[in-house]
């Protein structure tokens, strides 16, 4: 496994001859009330977005990744809240992580400090994700960072979330972290309709009413909406307002609290199935 880090591009090439020539996999892992996303390109390159709360990610991840493969080529921390980074300690201790990207929002939590210490011990590179950065996973899978477009060190962690768009052939996925309406408005203003429209929306902030504003959902115009949310959670996620907005654009809603881990596999750039 090796990668070249450039100013605006990260090329990830995972040399896994045993498992080469795969299709594309996108998995929303059932990590309870949190986010944990796994992406595998046809070349066997792996990228994760978040890892859910502590001790929640390894079981669901095992459903999506080969038991013989212990590489995560890039890990994106969309924001440093515990429901997004708690499981990263388990990932670092069980997988070889190539590089970590994060938004730059700050937290002094013990969980985050423990992660920083483990990354330092393993000498894992740490990169600030910025608009214009592109992760090329090989096999036609591209991840474009849409936000942050500025220094978000003083921002609330949710508002400073990393937002990205993944494309693979005719398929595209908008990845939103916990970004709220404030951030969504900025993203709409800075990107064309073609740059926003996506077949799948990873619904922001577990379906909270603070995210998935009507203008943003209409701009993305998804045919499917994936919601990562815990059963009977204390926040009442997903909120009915969000579900109503998604239904207004005709999106099919899939939720981890009802379905468990959701896995989309594509044998070609056109043909995909969701389990």
- The pLDDT score that the predictor gives to residue 4 is 39
Q: Could you tell me the fold of the domain covering 2-268?
A: Metallo-beta-lactamase; Chain A (3.60.15)
Q: Can you tell me which residue has the tokens 């994060």? A: 102
Query: Which residues lie below 8 Å from residue 65, measured CB to CB, with a gap of 6+?
Result: 38, 40, 46
20 has a pLDDT exceeding 90: no
| Residue-wise pLDDT tens digits, 241-266 | 999 999 999 999 999 999 999 999 99
pTM over 0.85: yes
Q: Where are the alpha helices (DSSP H) in 96-167?
A: 110-122
| Residue-wise pLDDT tens digits, 132-151 | 999 999 999 999 999 999 99
Residue predicted with more confidence, 214 or 274: 214
Give the SS3 label for residue 230. coil
- Which parts of the chain are beta strand (E)? 2-5, 9-13, 24-28, 37-40, 46-49, 71-72, 74-77, 96-97, 100-102, 126-128, 134-138, 141-147, 163-168, 171-175, 200-202, 224-227, 252-255, 262-266, 272-274
- Percent of the chain beyond pLDDT 90? 88
Where do the structural domains in the chain lie, given as residue ranges? 2-268
Pick from 19, 13, 18, 9: nearest CA to 1: 13
């Amino acid at each position: 496994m090796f990668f070249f880090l450039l100013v605006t591009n990260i090329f990830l090439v995972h040399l896994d001859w045993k498992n080469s020539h795969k299709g594309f996999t996108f998995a929303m892992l059932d990590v309870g009330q949190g986010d944990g996303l796994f992406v595998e390109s046809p070349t066997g390159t792996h990228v994760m977005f978040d890892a859910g709360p502590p001790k929640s990610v390894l079981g669901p991840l095992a459903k999506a990744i080969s038991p013989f493969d212990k590489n995560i080529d890039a890990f994106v921390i969309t924001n440093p809240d515990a429901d997004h980074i708690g499981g990263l300690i388990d990932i670092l201790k069980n997988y070889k992580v190539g590089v970590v990207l994060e938004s730059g929002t700050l937290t002094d939590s013990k969980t985050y400090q423990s992660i920083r210490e483990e990354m330092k011990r393993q000498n894992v590179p740490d990169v600030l994700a910025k608009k214009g950065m592109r992760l090329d996973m090989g096999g036609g899978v591209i991840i474009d960072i849409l936000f942050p477009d500025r220094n978000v060190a003083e921002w609330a962690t949710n508002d400073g979330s990393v937002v990205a768009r993944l494309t693979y052939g005719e398929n595209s996925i908008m990845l939103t972290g916990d970004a709220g309406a404030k951030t969504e408005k900025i993203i709409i203003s800075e990107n064309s309709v073609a740059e926003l429209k996506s077949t799948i929306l990873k619904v922001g902030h577990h379906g909270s009413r603070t995210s998935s504003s009507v203008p943003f959902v209409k701009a993305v115009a998804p045919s499917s909406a994936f919601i990562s949310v815990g059963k009977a959670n204390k926040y009442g996620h997903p909120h009915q307002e969000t579900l109503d907005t998604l239904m207004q654009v005709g999106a099919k809603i899939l939720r981890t609290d009802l379905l468990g881990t959701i896995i989309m596999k594509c044998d070609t750039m056109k043909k995909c199935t969701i389990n």
